[in-house]
Amino acid sequence: MVSAARRIELVPAEETERRARRDCSKEPELWALLDAVTDPEIPVLSLWDLGVLQNIERVGHRILVTLTPTYSGCPALVTMQEDIRARFAEAGLTDVDIVQVLSPAWSSQWLSQAAREKLTAYGIAPPGDERCPHCGSSNTHRVAEFGSTACKAMWRCDDCLEPFDQFKAI
């Protein structure tokens, strides 16, 4: 079992490009504003952490935000769009367009090491990690392939006997 600290982060190409878009952006303050917008179901992860936030650009006097959904039927996407508009509006920015793209297809591999650690601290096992987020035991089993939201499966710890969600690897 590889410990979290020693886990080597293998970053897919499309995720490297996404991070580069942010790093090279001329509008870092817009990205920083949206760091306050989190997944409505997992409030410790920002849309950036989750990989849903693909790009922010200025097009003329308007702001164009590009999102990619986690799952085809993820109902949280509507709330995310409302939250983005509300966050920009608080900063006085109301000329905002939000588009949804499907390519590249979202992957749980886009979660950064920091995002994985936030998930564990919140009580959700990160994708591919079968250890109990409550006590750290590896003596766990999957109860169901699906959980309380589209992105999670249900697990149970056989040591501390607590149930927990695991972020699905996809």
Partner 1 sequence: MDARAAAYAIGLGDDALVLGQRLTEWCGKAPFLEEDLALANTALDYIGRARFFYQAAGVNTGRSEDEIAFGRDAREFTNHLIYELPRGDFAFTMARQFLIDAFMVPFLDALSTSRDEQLAGIAAKAVKESRYHLRRSGDWMVRLGDGTDESRQRTIAALDTLAGYVDELFEMDSLEAELATDGIGVDRARLKDAWQRTVARVLEDATLPQLATGWNVSGGRRGIHTEHLGHMLSELQFVQRAYPGLQW
Contact set with partner 1 (CB under 8 A): 69, 71-75, 101-107, 143-148, 150, 154, 168, 170
- Looking at the Cβ atoms of 32 and 99, the one nearer to partner 1 is 99
135 binds, among partner 1, Zn ion, none (CB under 5 to 8 A by kind): Zn ion
Min dist. Cβ of residue 166 to Zn ion (A)? 13
Provide, rounded to whole angstroms, the least separation between the CB of residue 87 and Zn ion.
36
d(CA 110, CA 50): 7
Q: Which does 101 bind (CB under 5 to 8 A by kind): partner 1, Zn ion, none?
A: partner 1
Interface contacts to Zn ion, rule CB under 5 A: 132, 134-135, 137, 157, 159-160
Whether 149 and 41 have beta carbons less than 8 Å apart is answered as: yes
Which residue lies nearer to partner 1 by CB, 40 or 104?
A: 104
User: CA gyration radius for the chain?
Assistant: 17
Report d(CA 112, CA 110) in Å as an integer: 6
Q: How many contiguous H segments (helices) and E segments (strands) does the chain have?
A: 5, 7
In the numeric block, which tokens belong to residue 37? 């917008």
Minimum CB separation from partner 1 for residue 12, in Å?
13
Taking a C-beta distance cutoff of 8 angstroms, is the pair 86, 53 a contact? no
